[in-house]
Structure 1
């Protein structure tokens, strides 16, 4: 297990370096001077001083040749100096950390909803293979996979906010209201939209595993001894089907991150997604680079934790990895 984790950690570092090169290239290959909007009076009413411009160029790594620029920028990133936002001249890292809980809360709720919905539906679809229940659930999964998040979000806003008036259409809180219930009301629609795709993926995976498990010897033996199929389904098959979901969560963590950017933009949720979209619209390169790096780190950590939890949850997997890497 130790050698496996070391190998995975090395792969994480390699991916992180590659992503950092990509993030740095955003400013290097950007057309024109990234600070043009703050040096030209015709573009911005705010005029930065020469000292501020020098600090901004240094934080963006715009001094020296490309190798020197990258090394300077990467070293500062490792030291926790992510530079200042071009838009508001505040620390990039502090703004990212300030918005992070909002995005993580949305992602966590969407992931929990996806698991709670997909597990029973997937087990039922596998149990009633090729029957009307299976066809109905499978049809739902195909529809959910093909739904564009932005379109689905807009449709929910039109129905539940504009037509029925049941739920708020945007934001995270109502002005003047500071309660958990108000936050939950604002989160219902974005959580549903963000969870739909993962729900469909998990559902299909659980269904196929249920069908395979139903034909295993231990299931046939238990049924022959008098155990009902529902008992075997809930006590044994569900346990074996849930284990691979740990890996599926790690594999789909990237979908949650990228999906949250779209969903947050549609619903005006004050998370990393809206922060990134604002940065793109304002050509705030330091912010774009910072969010790119932070999203990559979140994705790598999610996959790494999924590998660890999978090995802990199933000792056979852990032993197999030790043998294969020993």
Structure 2
């Protein structure tokens, strides 16, 4: 909370699932940095990927009074200084940023296209990038200085915006409606190497606030030498499947691939904890059978506001009662 704010302003809160915390060591770092919460997530202990540093932040808008007593008036430049320290201390970790950045990026590129003798991208002395996934953005009328600073930050740290790049957000939906204006100012940004583990990104249309909630889905492969000692290490989902002969080949192919990739993990788990091994086998079959999932809402007589979260809570209640 800023003491010199003209109106009440909120802080930053980060909540972590206890189930995830049991699987992956997570700790807060750089507590001295202002206006952000930074977590070091040791994903490499369980998954076949690098550790991830998650940077949750709020950047005050351009011209905010909070910059009056500061030499640096650009909130994105302040974030740059923090990231420079982080990447120096943790050069192997992948970066993930989320928050209200008050940056309007219009159609600015957040990567450097291929440069050669006949084409040089702008006045920028950076290496070209192999990343070239197009980004859609409904807020394409105007940008701002923060937006230019943000894409420049992406160039330097080899990061890219998730908004407008995944099936759940093909059009680059607005994330904020305020002052009779719709804009995209809330972002998730990730290292290039992290994109291979991101399966989807979506902006919800709930109006609990003038900023809409948004989420992304990560999917990491387990390490081949991971030994699971706790029966709760593999969370089981309450899903409903319906066998379809037309999808049999897809199911078998997916199952074969999952068994091959997790074969060593499964053998080690069987030797150490047979109950966890049974859970792992169940998870493998569930993952392979996702092509045959039944969407509860299509067969439900629930009210229009009923969603997947309600289905999940109802199933948990049913399990607890029985």
TM-score, normalized by length of structure 1? 0.21
Question: Comparing both structures, which one devotes a greater share of its residues to helix?
Answer: 1
Higher strand share: 2
Larger Rg belongs to? 1
